């Protein structure tokens, strides 16, 4: 047998070895691949377990719906928590989840499910009924699962319980609705401003101006120019300090000039001011009340001043006139000084008349009042009024035939009408126009009286009304507010007392004055006068009662007179005049001492001359005390008030006379003579 060469044998062995090595490498590779696959299987199992646990613990329910079988082929355990039913019962009854849908939502949801095969997604909200009777709101979202063929047979989605979220949303919506209703119903205007003061939101129409249509504008567009800087500073300060602030302003709006109180409150987010809340309140009524109250206080102060001045003047004029009369009795006829004394007396009488007019115009003196028909009175002034009105102005008298009778002083009402017409004439200049004087009745309420020049104690009701209106230039609000101020005038050559006098006369009548005016629209002045409380038949408004009472021509009586007067000079002059006439005179500087003297000399005193305004005890109280000592005491009142006012005030008190200050020597003696003679009685009305 032939033996192969060594190289041949080695070749065969090498092949075997190489095959074995390759086989071993293949085995190692297979082992490695097997290990990788095992690890992959383990990883998949772990991933599936993690996914399962995640799906089991998410709040909602995950599901897969088969559109062909119309069943959920997969449902996560979240179903049990939401539906309140187990997965086992769902498997036994696959339609259980559909049967739990609220009857009112079932039909609509069924339509949605039927349309799933052709839809791209599912987004539906519905209600379910749980076994415990609770109603829950469910929100379903689903998306089609694309098959390799491109068809979408199945839909995967989630079911989320949104009951609590929906309840919170409903509460938020309800809260927003209440807030909107609150903002819409409040009389205030609410706006949100940015940090530059521009309007970002406005709640409502304000005084006829639609603020909402001007979003992006600043409030400076509505403010007068002189307040632009103050508003800008207020915005800057609120942004800088973060503190709320407020300011008042007067806005000129289509509905008229209105006063507003605006409160600016910074709004913060994350501790930083991001915008401003502006709440504007219409305080026009309050401002008008404040202005009316201030005007009333000013007039009341003027009344007090005028009353005190008139009282002092009357006492001084009484002294001047009394001493003049006494000087004339001492001077023989033809004496060079006699004429000068007469001139002093005349000047004192004129000054007394001026003081009386001042007191009357400020309301300090009421003047004699009686029933007056305004229409008849003004008709009697027609000629005088026509002469007051120039040719370029037409005067119309619209006098009501049914005008009721008012309690008034005819001369003062004539002055009121004449002053108002004269003021109206000034409103035209050289232009043309019309002035109308009307009379009638007006029913006024508290709101009207608050905006008028009137005593706050004035009652609501029906008043006689005299209205003077013109079509002239009119006045702005600032001018109207000061129109009745003494010496205020827009005409340099006028004294500025016209409306001040009118207001004083009206207030003296316990009436009211209302001025309505706007630039370019003319002015209307309403004068309200109280209606008369007694019949008006047969009353002549031009008739005036004499101030003095008849003088007895018999021989002058003698007796003792007690003079109660606080002014020493008046007391001295009256005492000297009576003593010169033969009377015994006792004098007291105040009411309390007068009562004390009367108690001591009650049987001797024939007459008491009693001043009303005295210290320590006023005249009225002294009168009662004197009458308590002796009921038949004869008393004559002396005062700066008119005879008619005293008659009303002391009706039934048994007065035997009245002496109005300032009085002359002759008037004093005549009144004392008449009272002691027994000719006196309650002063006639």
Q: What is the DSSP string of 164-190?
A: HHHHHHHHHHHHHHHHHHHHHHSSSEE
| Strand ranges (E), 492-592 | 512-517, 523-529, 560-564, 584-588
Q: What is the pLDDT of residue 536?
A: 36
Q: pLDDT by residue (tens digit) across 570-598?
A: 888 888 888 888 899 999 999 999 999 99
Residue 671 reports pLDDT greater than 70: yes
**Residue 250: CB partners within 8 Å, gap ≥ 6?**
224, 257, 258, 259, 260, 477
What is the DSSP secondary-structure string of 312-357?
Answer: HHHHHHHHHHHHHHHHHHHSPTT-HHHHHHHHHHHHHHHHHHHHHH
Q: What is the pLDDT of residue 27?
A: 72
For residues 167-193, average pLDDT? 79
Strand order in the sheet with 635-639: 584-588, 560-564, 607-611, 635-639, 657-660
Q: pLDDT by residue (tens digit) across 263-286?
A: 888 888 888 888 888 877 777 777
CA gap 425, 422 in Å, rounded:
5
Q: pLDDT by residue (tens digit) across 357-392?
A: 666 555 555 556 778 888 888 888 888 888 888 888
Lowest mean per-residue pLDDT among 452-466, 554-568, 639-653: 639-653
> What does pTM read for this prediction?
0.40
For residues 95-122, average pLDDT? 84
Q: What is the pLDDT of residue 660?
A: 81
Query: What value does the mean pLDDT of the chain take?
Result: 77
Residue 546 reports pLDDT greater than 50: no
Burial 86-103 (b: 16+ CB within 10 A, else e): eeeebeeeeebbbebbee
Tell me the pLDDT band of 447, cut-offs 50, 70 and 90. confident
For residues 408-412, average pLDDT? 83
Inter-residue contact 557 to 676 (CB < 8 Å): yes
Inter-residue contact 552 to 674 (CB < 8 Å): yes
Inter-residue contact 507 to 455 (CB < 8 Å): yes
């Amino acid at each position: 047998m032939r033996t192969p060469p060594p190289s041949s044998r080695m070749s065969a062995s090498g092949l075997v070895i190489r095959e074995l090595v390759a086989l071993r490498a293949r085995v190692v590779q297979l082992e490695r691949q097997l290990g990788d696959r095992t690890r992959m299987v383990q990883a998949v199992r772990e991933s599936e377990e993690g996914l399962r646990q995640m799906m089991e613990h998410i709040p909602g329910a995950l599901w897969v719906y088969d559109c062909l079988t119309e069943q959920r082929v997969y449902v996560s355990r979240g179903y049990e928590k939401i539906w309140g039913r187990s997965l086992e019962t769902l498997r036994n009854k696959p339609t259980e989840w559909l049967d739990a849908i609220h009857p009112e939502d079932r039909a609509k949801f069924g339509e949605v499910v039927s349309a799933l095969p052709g839809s791209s997604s599912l987004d539906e909200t519905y209600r379910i009924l749980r076994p415990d009777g609770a109603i829950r709101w469910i929100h379903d979202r689903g998306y089609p699962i694309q098959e390799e063929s491109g068809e979408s047979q199945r839909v995967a989605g989630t079911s989320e319980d949104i009951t609590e979220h929906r309840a919170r949303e409903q509460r938020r919506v309800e809260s927003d609705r209440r807030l909107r209703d609150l903002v819409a119903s409040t009389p205030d205007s609410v706006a949100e401003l940015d940090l530059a003061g521009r309007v970002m939101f406005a709640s409502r129409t304000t005084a006829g101006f639609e603020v909402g249509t001007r979003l992006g504008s600043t409030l400076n567009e509505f403010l007068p120019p002189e307040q632009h800087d103050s508003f800008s500073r207020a915005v800057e300060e609120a942004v800088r300090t973060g503190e709320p602030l407020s300011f008042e302003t007067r806005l000129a709006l289509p509905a008229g000039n209105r006063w507003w109180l605006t409160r600016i409150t910074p709004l913060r987010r994350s501790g930083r001011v991001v915008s401003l809340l502006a709440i504007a309140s219409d305080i026009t009524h309050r401002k008008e009340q404040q202005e009316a109250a201030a005007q009333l206080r000013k007039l009341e102060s003027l009344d007090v001043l005028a009353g005190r001045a008139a009282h002092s003047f009357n006492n001084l004029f009484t002294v001047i006139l009394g001493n003049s009369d006494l000087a004339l009795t001492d001077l023989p006829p033809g004496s060079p000084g006699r004429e000068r004394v007469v001139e002093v007396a005349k000047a004192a009488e004129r000054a007394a008349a001026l003081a009386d007019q001042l007191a009357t115009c400020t309301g300090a003196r009421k003047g004699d009042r009686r029933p007056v028909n305004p229409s008849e009175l003004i008709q009697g002034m027609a000629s005088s009024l026509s002469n007051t009105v120039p040719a370029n102005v037409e005067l119309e008298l619209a006098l009501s035939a049914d005008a009721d009778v008012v309690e008034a002083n005819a001369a003062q009402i004539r002055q009121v009408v004449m002053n108002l017409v004269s003021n109206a004439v000034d409103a035209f200049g050289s232009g043309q126009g019309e002035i109308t004087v009307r009379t009638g009745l007006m029913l006024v309420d508290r709101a009207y009286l608050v905006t008028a020049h009137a005593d706050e104690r004035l009652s609501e009701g029906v008043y006689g009304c005299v209205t003077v209106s013109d079509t002239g230039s009119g006045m702005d609000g600032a001018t109207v507010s000061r129109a009745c101020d003494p010496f205020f005038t827009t005409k340099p050559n006028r004294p500025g007392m016209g409306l001040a006098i009118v207001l004083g006369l009206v207030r003296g009548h316990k009436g009211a004055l209302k001025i309505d005016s706007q630039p370019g629209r003319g002015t209307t002045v309403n004068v309200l006068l109280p209606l008369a409380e007694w019949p008006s038949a047969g009353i002549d408004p031009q008739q005036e009662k004499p101030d003095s009472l008849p003088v007895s021509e018999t021989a002058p009586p003698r007796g003792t007179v007690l003079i109660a007067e606080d002014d020493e000079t008046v007391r001295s002059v009256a005492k000297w005049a009576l003593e010169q006439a033969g009377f015994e005179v006792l004098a007291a500087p105040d009411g309390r001492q007068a009562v004390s003297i009367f108690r001591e000399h009650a049987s001797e005193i024939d007459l008491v001359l009693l001043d009303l305004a005295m210290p320590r005890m006023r005249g009225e109280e002294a009168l009662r005390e004197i009458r308590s000592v002796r009921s038949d005491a004869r008393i004559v009142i002396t005062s700066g008030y008119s005879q008619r006012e005293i008659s009303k005030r002391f009706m039934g008190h048994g007065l035997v006379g009245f002496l109005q200050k300032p009085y002359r020597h002759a008037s004093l003696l005549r009144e004392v003579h008449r009272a002691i003679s027994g000719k006196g009685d309650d002063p006639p009305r």
